[in-house]
Amino acid sequence: MSAYALLLLENTYLPGVLAVRKALSDTKAQFPVILLYSAENVNKDTIALLTASKLFSDLINIDDNILVSNSPHTLESVLNRPDLAYTLSKINLWRLVEYSKLVYLDADTLPLQNLDHLFARNFDASQVMAAPDCGWPDLFNSGFMVLQPNMTVFQELMDLYESTESFDGADQGLLNHYFNPDLYHGGISRWLRLPFIYNCTLNSHYEYFPALQRYFQDIKLFHFIGAKKPWDPTFASQLRKDPSLFKVADNKNVYQIWHEVYESIEVDGSSQTEALKITEKSEPDRVEAVEAVEAVETAVEPQPQPPIVHHQYYYKEPESEPEKYEENRGEAWKLNESRGPNKWEDASESEEEDDTRELDTRELVHSLSQLDVESPQDDYASTHPIFPWEKSAARQKPTRSFSARTSLPSSLTKIPFTAAFDDGSELENYIASRDQADRPETLQEIKQDEQLDEQESQELEKLAP
């Protein structure tokens, strides 16, 4: 006889067990479903309910061989899952020799398609069929396995459990150690690899989302690995905040798919909610906590959602130090855009280049030597005096003047001031207007403005009309 097998070590996984059971019915599974459980850790009402419901063809109490982690420090500080302290009890599957073949499913899996064909696969009792783990694909995930119960294998697994620490502190480490001992030499592996679609392990930090969408129609089973399970109320609130999480088809995400199955459960004529109320009686704190979370959630107004961006599926939070500001990176250093050239930088760079090229001293000296030097036709300052010394008779007359039309080096003619006064008349107009506007009114003002010394002041007074 062959069967599907589930495991319930204590009460909190009951919603999962019920959902898997319902999903197996939905996929029209033709094989019986059995449940391994710990009578000591699952409350009595739950057991009574499960017995009465006839959901399982066999309820197998494994209290005589509950296996506690043989490496609790690994569970706590490496795997960070102290809650998995008893999952090594999965080994008990191999002692159920009244079954010729078992398809084992974790309580946090969700079969989407019929799996009966797996019972027809022939393999040796020393082998196991399983799919790769998404976290380390050279290892198999032990949440979905096809196996043949066998006392030799069971005993060897028990010996390994007693002699060697499981490298993950739980069953997946030990089972890979046994069935998949040497990752480098495929020949001696006793792991028969199932495609990933048989146990699609979901990871909220990273998922190859395009493949999840591409192969969604082919996926046979989802597996909600990790500490947070779909029935966890805090997960429901996270999902409400980010409805795009693991969206796969028909605008639904995988958790909504799980919840649809869960909502459709009926246990012994009552809904799963009523069934769970009975089974949760012995855990008042948890029920209150769940109700409190739900109350808070219903009170919150639904907010419009921003456009869906799926980068969370490709991006893992960096574990290294955050990048620090460095001056040479420019102000936009935090933006993910590559640093492009700025117009002004280009301009200044090219000007710099021009300058170094055109302000070559030899060229400059040559240009200056070409300047059109004329003898002064008019001493502009003496006909348009502004300052007292310009009016002074003792003032030294200029001997040279430069024509406005000279051939300056091109770099100098680029300077706007030069260009503006290229035309001599413009220069005269400018000075004339300045003359009007700026001419000081009184002797006192002139003395102050020009900070004249004693002698200059006296000269000024002599000149004053």
Ligand X SMILES: O=c1ccn([C@@H]2O[C@H](COP(=O)(O)OP(=O)(O)O[C@H]3O[C@H](CO)[C@@H](O)[C@H](O)[C@H]3O)[C@@H](O)[C@H]2O)c(=O)[nH]1
Task: Give the SS3 label for residue 405.
Answer: coil
168: partner contacted, choices ligand X, Mn ion, none (Cβ within 5-8 A by kind): ligand X
Q: Which residues bind to Mn ion, rule: CB under 5 A? A: 106, 108, 143
DSSP class of 306: P
The whole-angstrom separation of Cα 143 and Cα 139 is: 12
Choose, by CB under 6 A, the member of 46, 70, 141, 180 that binds ligand X: 141
Which of 33/452 has CB closer to Mn ion? 33
Binding to ligand X in span 73-92, by CB under 6 A = 83-84, 87
The whole-angstrom separation of Cα 374 and Cα 401 is: 6
Task: At 145, give phi and psi (nearest 5°).
Answer: -140, 145
10: partner contacted, choices Mn ion, ligand X, none (Cβ within 5-8 A by kind): ligand X
3: partner contacted, choices Mn ion, ligand X, none (Cβ within 5-8 A by kind): none
**Residue 322 C-beta: closest distance to ligand X, Å:** 30
CA distances from 180 to 93, 301, 359 (A): 18, 51, 76
Which of 106/133 has CB closer to Mn ion? 106
**Residue 223 C-beta: closest distance to Mn ion, Å:** 6
CA distances from 157 to 94, 284, 389 (A): 9, 38, 113
Choose, by CB under 6 A, the member of 225, 254, 261, 460 that binds ligand X: 225
Residue whose entry in the numeric block shows the structure tokens 């198999």: 140
The yes or no reply on residue 71 touching ligand X (CB under 6 A) is no
- Which burial class, exposed, middle or buried, applies to 369 when counting CB atoms under 10 A from its CB (0-12, 13-18, 19+)? exposed
The yes or no reply on residue 280 touching ligand X (CB under 6 A) is no
DSSP class of 204: S
- Residue environment code for 300-332, b if the CB has 16+ CB neighbours within 10 A, otherwise e: eeeeeeeeeeeebbeeeeeeeeeeeeeeeeeee
Which of 287/463 has CB closer to ligand X? 287
**Residue 67 C-beta: closest distance to Mn ion, Å:** 17
The yes or no reply on residue 13 touching ligand X (CB under 6 A) is yes
The yes or no reply on residue 226 touching ligand X (CB under 6 A) is yes
Residue whose Cβ sits closest to Mn ion:
106
The yes or no reply on residue 8 touching ligand X (CB under 6 A) is yes
Say if CB 107 and CB 17 are below 8 A apart: yes
Q: Of the ranges 137-145, 282-290, 410-418, 442-450, which one interacts with ligand X (CB under 6 A)?
A: 137-145
- The residues, any chain, with a CB within 8 Å of residue 285's CB and separated by 6 or more, are none
Choose, by CB under 6 A, the member of 46, 71, 172, 272 that binds ligand X: 172
Q: Of the ranges 43-51, 111-119, 138-146, 439-447, which one interacts with ligand X (CB under 6 A)?
A: 138-146
**Dihedral of CA 235/239/245/251: which sign?**
positive
7: partner contacted, choices ligand X, Mn ion, none (Cβ within 5-8 A by kind): ligand X
Q: Can you give the binding site for ligand X, defined by CB under 6 A?
A: 7-10, 12-13, 83-84, 87, 106-108, 141-143, 168, 170-172, 225-226
